[in-house]
């Protein structure tokens, strides 16, 4: 009985915008832009800057893709999402992105430290790939956990994360990857 009450409370909370949501929108947006711009500020070569821009744009596109799928699922009354309103998914995604931005900010700081100290770092690409992977894995765990609280089974949430968010990201990144 308690579990049903917890889900009901979560669903009621999912219907309204929280005070922190505009701040989280700014954190997600500014964090992503800062990460991409830090490659320009650090004056890495133009190809690296193009890759950073492609990563930022692909991330934005993938979140929009996941948001559209979640909104369609909630509108269609999919039993898997137990009629969670779109605002519930919006809040779940915002909190997930905030965690990801905390991790990606390590990459922003790394770029700025390299620029400020004029250091050369041969492992820069590997470090950024590691940061991106860590961010994705941690965000995936957060998303699955929060989606479970909204009534979506873990396997369905993990499938959405891997197939929709990561799939759209990979496709967008292939299309946006700098040529030449």
Could you read off the pLDDT of 37-91 as tens digits, one per residue? Answer: 888 777 777 777 888 888 888 998 999 999 888 888 877 766 666 667 778 888 8
H-assigned helices in the chain: 2-13, 21-41, 46-75, 86-117, 124-149, 154-159, 167-176
b/e map of 88-101 (b: 16 or more CB within 10 Å)? bbbbbbbbbbbebb
Tell me the per-residue pLDDT of 50-61, one tens digit each, with 9 for 90 and over. 888 888 889 989
Q: Check if the beta carbon of residue 22 is closer than 8 Å to that of residue 50.
A: no
The residue among 86, 62, 90, 84 whose CA lies nearest residue 160 is 62
Q: For residues 94 and 40, give the distance between their C-alpha atoms in angstroms, rounded to a whole number.
A: 26
pLDDT at 12 over 60: no
Burial (CB < 10 A; 0-12, 13-18, 19+), residue 25, is middle
Instruction: Give the predicted TM-score (pTM) of the model.
Output: 0.82
């Amino acid at each position: 009985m308690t579990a049903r009450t917890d889900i009901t409370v979560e669903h009621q909370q999912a219907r309204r915008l929280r005070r922190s949501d505009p701040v989280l929108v700014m954190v997600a947006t500014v964090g992503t832009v800062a990460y991409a711009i830090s490659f320009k500020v650090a004056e890495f070569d133009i190809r690296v800057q193009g890759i950073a821009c492609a990563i930022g744009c692909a991330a934005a596109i993938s979140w929009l893709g996941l948001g559209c799928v979640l909104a369609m699922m909630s509108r269609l009354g999919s039993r898997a999402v137990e009629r969670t309103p779109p605002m519930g998914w919006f809040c779940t995604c915002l909190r997930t992105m905030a965690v990801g931005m905390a991790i990606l900010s390590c990459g922003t700081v790394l770029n700025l430290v390299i620029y400020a100290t004029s250091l050369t770092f041969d492992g820069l690409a590997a470090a950024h790939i590691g940061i991106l992977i860590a961010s994705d894995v941690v965000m995936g765990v957060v998303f699955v956990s929060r989606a479970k609280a909204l009534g979506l089974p873990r396997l369905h949430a993990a499938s959405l994360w891997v197939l929709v968010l990561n799939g759209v990201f990979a496709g967008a990144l292939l299309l946006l990857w700098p040529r030449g």
